Structure 1
Amino acid sequence: MATFVVLVSWTEQGIRMYPETTQRADAFAGVLEKLGARLVSIFWTIGPYDIVTIVEAPDDATITAGLLRVGALGNIRSTTMRAFDRAEMESIVAKATAG
């Protein structure tokens, strides 16, 4: 499974509905699960982003589908980054430095 860091900002609608944020997180986890992905962790943060999540998904299309479903509800905007663990990075470096 690929790892993704998802940076989330609440929309005006999302901030008005902040009391429901933990229930919305549960719903997001459920959407991901139905798509074959997994919400690894979620953190509510102070700063330029309101929430930071770590998600494992089999591919880019799966994480994108999940974020489209959740984004369509109008509560969030997201920025997603592919993350690589140590073993993946070692493999990438090996490929980059191969003859």
Structure 2
Amino acid sequence: MPTYVTLLNWTDQGVRNYKDTARRSEAFGSALQKLGAKLLSIFWTVGPYDLVAIVEAPDEETATAALLQLGEVGNVRSTTLRAFDPEGMERIITKASG
């Protein structure tokens, strides 16, 4: 399944409700499962982003739907990156090489 790295920043609402952040991450994981995706890991970070989530989803539409649901709650804003494992990168290099 494709992997996505999601960089998250708390909104003002999210900061005000910081005590619920662990519970909210569990709810996000459950919402992903309902869509056929999976939360592989989540980290709370110090720096320009407040959290980093690693998500597997069957396709971009599913990943986007999950992130729309997450954003709708109003606690975070996200930036998502499509990630490739070594095998995926080898396939890309083979295609690029002709």
Query: TM-score normalised by the shorter chain: which range applies?
Result: over 0.9
Q: How many residues are paired up? A: 98
Partner of 1:4: 4
Aligned partner of residue 58 in structure 1, secondary structure: coil
Q: Which residue does 2:36 correspond to in 1?
A: 36
Amino acid at match of 2:15: I
| Dislocated runs of 4+, deviation >3 Å | none
1:58 pairs with 2:62: no
- Counterpart CA distance in 2 for 1:28 and 1:65 is 12
Give, in angstroms, the shift of residue 54 of structure 1.
0.4
Per-residue CA deviations over 1:25-76 (Å, capped at 9, x if unaligned) read: 0000000000000000000000000000100000000011011011001100
Alignment of 1:57-96 (within 5 A): 57-96=57-96
Mapped to 2, the partners of 1:97 and 1:70 lie a distance apart of 38
SS in 2 for 1:71: helix
TM-score (norm: length of structure 1): 0.98
Structure 1 residues without counterparts, runs of 5 or longer? none
What runs of 5+ residues in structure 2 fail to find an aligned partner?
none
Distance 2:42 2:68 in 1: 18
Q: Using the alignment, how far apart are the partners of 1:34 and 1:68 within structure 2?
A: 14
- 1:11 partner amino acid: T
Query: What amino acid maps onto 1:14 in structure 2?
Result: G
Q: Give the equivalent residue in structure 2 for 1:16.
A: 16
TM-score (norm 2): 0.99
